[in-house]
Structures are given as C-alpha cells and as structure tokens.
Amino acid sequence: MCLKGKVAIVTGSTSGIGLGIAHALAGQGADVLVNGFGDAAAIDGLCQDIAARHGVKVAYSGADMAQPAQIEGMVAQATRELGRVDILVNNAGIQFTAPVHEFPVERWDAIIAINLSAAFHAIRAALPQMRERNWGRIVNIASAHGLVASVNKVAYVAAKHGIVGITKVVALETATSGVTCNAICPGWVLTPLVQKQIDALAERERLTPEEARMRLLGEKQPSKEFATPEQIGALAQFLCSEGAAQIRGASLSVDGGWTAQ
C-alpha cells in the first residue's frame, strides 16, 4: 500500500482508461476523486465499488473539463473532502475525425479545451500544494498521437502533442523538487469508446466483429493486441511510486509497437 495516505484526482474516470487508473491507485491505498459524466446511480455504484474493494475514501466531481472554473472547483473539492491533492491524473478526452478543411470549428475548440487546456488548468490549481509539501505526481494521459500523427485527427493530434509539451515544461519547472510529471502514450486500448469504433467499422464495411477488430489493430499496432485499462493503470501506479522518482518529463508508450515503426 505504497500510496496509503495520498489523495488522487483522476479526470475522465467513470469508464475506460480513467477507471482502470482509479482502481490501480486505490489498490495501492490512495483515496480517489472520480470525475466524469454518466448516469448518477451508475456513478454512485462505481464509487461505492472502488471504496469497498480497496478500503479507501472515494469522492465524485461532475466538473466539466471544458470549464476552467469547474476544474478549479474540482481541485478545491478534493482538498476539502479528502484533505489534500497529491496525485493528479489528466485523462479526460474526446475525439472527432474529419479532414482539416472540413473540420468543424466548434469540435476543434471542444477537443482543445478538454484534451489540452483542461490539463493546464488542473495542474495550475493542484501544483501549489504539491510544491508546499514537496511531493506530488502528475500523470498526463497523452496518446501515440502525442508522438505521431494520423489523417483526419487534426485536433486530437494537436492536443496530444501539446500534452507531451506541457509534461516536459512542468517536469523541468519541478525538477529540483519532490514533484514529478510524466506522460503515458497509449495506442489502441479496448475501452467502450474504441468498441464503438469497431462496431461502426464492422457495420460500415460489412465485416465480422473479429475482422473489424483486426482491421483496426492491423493499421497501426504491430502486436495486433489491444492494451488494457489495467495495464495503463499499472504504469500510472508505478509512476506514482518512489521507484519512479527520477522519471521526469518522459513520454512512455504503451502501444504494441505503434510508434516503434
């Protein structure tokens, strides 16, 4: 229980990668503030499950990651209800695909706000108390698209490249302190959002679910296997440990060889 007594905020953690990370940190004893949208009863059950399974305190914030004031309020809530903020995982994200010349301006603005600017606002709000205690862990969930590009994903690629840049700056500014900042760059991870893409591809191309799965993976991921939220959570957990104290400003790929090509 190496994180016993620590408090973590995980944005976008009501499903998928964020939920995997919340479980991983709680499994090491950290109290957790869960954030995201969804059915109120389902979220309440999810929070109760994390608390009961791991024996930790769990709070919930429905803060909209496109709203800076709500992000600041989320950090204040975690501090008020759980006592402090030691770990910040910036995971919330959305996606939209279209060629640059057809990309809707409002979708660009939304993706930049949630996938990039939200991380800045959360770090800005949480970092002062980490500095004051001389201990903190900031883990930004970037993407393989923080390192390489794909067509029709201009906003997502721009935002995730920006996340890698923010990670480096914060790491340098905290380099002589007990605060670290790193990024995880997942490739394809089997989440409900990705499953929807598989289902849509199968329907569009009249493929079986397995054919659609392999088509999606085969385009990018040499391992031809999805990463899992649990694997991303395990890496986040390690980055919060003392063993990772000198990993600073790194962008760590979990992508089945995608960016090795």
pLDDT in tens, 82-139: 999 999 999 999 999 999 999 999 999 999 999 999 999 999 999 999 999 999 999 9
Same domain for 193 and 100, yes or no, is no
The two three-digit tokens of residue 116, written as one number: 């990039």
List, for residues 38-61, the tens digit of each pLDDT value: 999 999 999 999 999 999 999 999
Among 156, 188, 226, 258, the one annotated catalytic? 156
Same domain for 220 and 113, yes or no, is no
Same domain for 176 and 204, yes or no, is no
- pTM of the full structure: 0.97
More confidently predicted of 219 and 100: 100
Least confident interval from 5-14, 41-50, 194-203: 194-203
The question of whether 156 is a catalytic residue gets the answer yes
Where residue 170 falls among pLDDT bands split at 50, 70, 90?
A: very high
Is 177 a member of any domain?
Answer: yes
Are 255 and 144 contacting, i.e. CB atoms less than 8 angstroms apart? yes
Angle (CA) 58-60-61 rounded to 5° is 150
Mean pLDDT of 132-161: 98
Is 1 a member of any domain?
Answer: no
Is 260 a member of any domain?
Answer: no
Domain extent, residue 35, equals: 7-187+227-249
What is the side-by-side order of every strand in the sheet holding 58-61? Answer: 58-61, 31-35, 7-10, 87-90, 136-141, 179-186, 251-254
Give pLDDT, residue 192: 83
